[in-house]
Amino acid sequence: MPTDPRARAVAMECLRRIGEPGGAQDPETDGTQDAEIHRAFRDETGMTLGRWRYAARMRIARDLLTGGAQPSAVARRIGYAHLPTFSAAFSRFHGLSPREYQEREAAGGR
């Protein structure tokens, strides 16, 4: 999480809206704030706002899958309308499909 108050507020809003339609989009900011917020994300997290948001979604997905949620339910919860799109994104981020990730976790994280 960024520590800059404005960037942190944007991050919290992104997390709050993660499963809503359009919730994966940047909260509205004016042009000046937008540049400052993006700079704060880059400086404080090493990621762009978009990359941070994507990583947050994938970490939430990982936690839900670890808790036993079905991949289709996880996909919907984090804002993906289609399971194959979610599976591809999860696989790119974690190196395993959602199902493979759950199987590995069930086997003790090997």
State mean pLDDT over 15-41.
Answer: 70
As a 3-state breakdown, the chain gives helix, strand, coil percent values, each rounded to 5, of 65, 0, 35
Answer for the pair 85, 54: CB distance below 8 angstroms, yes or no. no
Q: What is the largest CA-CA distance in the chain?
A: 49
pLDDT at 19: 78
68: left (phi over 0), alpha (psi -120 to 50) or beta: left
Tens of pLDDT, residues 88-97:
999 999 999 9
Q: What are phi and psi of 10, to 5 degrees?
A: -65, -45
Q: What is the CATH number of the domain that holds 69?
A: 1.10.10.60
Query: Does 23 score more than 90 pLDDT?
Result: no
Range of the domain at 85: 5-106
Query: Does 22 score more than 80 pLDDT?
Result: no
CA 82 to chain centre: 16
- The count of domains in the chain is 1
Tens of pLDDT, residues 41-97:
999 999 999 899 999 999 999 999 999 999 999 999 999 999 999 999 999 999 999
